[in-house]
Amino acid sequence: MTTVRHEATVPLTAAGRRFDQSLAEMFPDYSRSRLTAWIKDGKVLLDGAPVAPRTLLHGGESVVLEAELASEVGDAQPEDIALNVVYEDDDVMVIDKPVGLVVHPGAGNPAGTMLNALLHRLPALAELPRAGIVHRLDKDTSGLMVVAKTIAAQTALVTMLSRHDVHRQYEAVVLGTMVAGGTVDEAIGRHQHDRLKQGIRDVEQGGKEAVTHYRVRERFRGHTVLQCQLETGRTHQIRVHMAHIGHPLVGDQLYANGLRLPRGASQELIDALRGFRRQALHAEKLAFEHPITGEYLEFESPRPPDQDALIEALRADTVLNPIED
């Protein structure tokens, strides 16, 4: 538990407004729901006395806020796990996540996650929901993520993500030879029969809007390298959308139905495809305006070695066995 104490004076411009509304503007580091709860619990005094959230203000009143911040990360414990931090300031950090690192504790992964590593690196993150994590990557997807270090930054980043103001670009290797890019605009929700999977679901069935733009980067005899850009950030979005249009990701154990080999594939390519046991997906670019300063930030992550080796094997096979258009 951490005790916080703030003193302030209600601005004269707040005259006639509700106490909870003005308090959210006076203390933007805390969510409105948390401030309202503190008002109801008597943790915020107006001119020395507790009042209701809907109390109308005159302007000029004194405000004293004194409350305890409980841990926002449950039973998660700090763990000394290395993180590749490519950028950090007082408000945010950008992390290049490796393949195999789970982002948040859950069923089957109670520890050893990015969240545990963040708590070790910066214990104060225990006071933020999800230790400042505002979006996720799947365990076996590599690449860039932004993490908030303050409530104000986290609140702003969540809003930016919901407004599609964060540029997230991925590289994916998919099955099949594609000739053109496009857009998949299909709502995604929990799979009807498999709780581990997501699926295409109408909004009326509980699906949520999901939009993925993609373009062809390289074509091979039986595979394609795509550049994918997300408008939304649903669970497994690129994996579900690519499978939906008949081009699941190489190595995807959930959404690809087995291994597909081009006719006459070289032994090197066969070995590379059989040995690639994760979805071939990498979050290669992340760009956004800093949630506090407004500075434009842009980051790129190099392709991980295993995905690079896979693409080199596809190139080599295609040189030996050219694409037949």
The secondary structure of 259-288 as a DSSP string is ----TT--HHHHHHHHH--S--EEEEEEEE
Q: Are 5 and 66 a contacting pair, CB within 8 Å?
A: yes
Residue 323: what pLDDT? 81
Band of pLDDT at residue 254, cut at 50, 70 and 90: very high
Identify the residue with better confidence: 25 or 258. Answer: 25
Query: What residues are annotated to the active site?
Result: 138
What is the DSSP annotation of 45-71? EETTEE--TTPBP-S--EEEEEEEE--
The residue assigned the tokens 């550049």 is: 227
Residue 325 pLDDT > 70? no
How many CB atoms are located within 10 Å of the residue 167 CB? 12
pTM of structure: 0.80
Give pLDDT tens digits for 29-66: 677 788 899 999 999 999 999 999 999 999 999 999 98
Residue 289 pLDDT > 90? yes
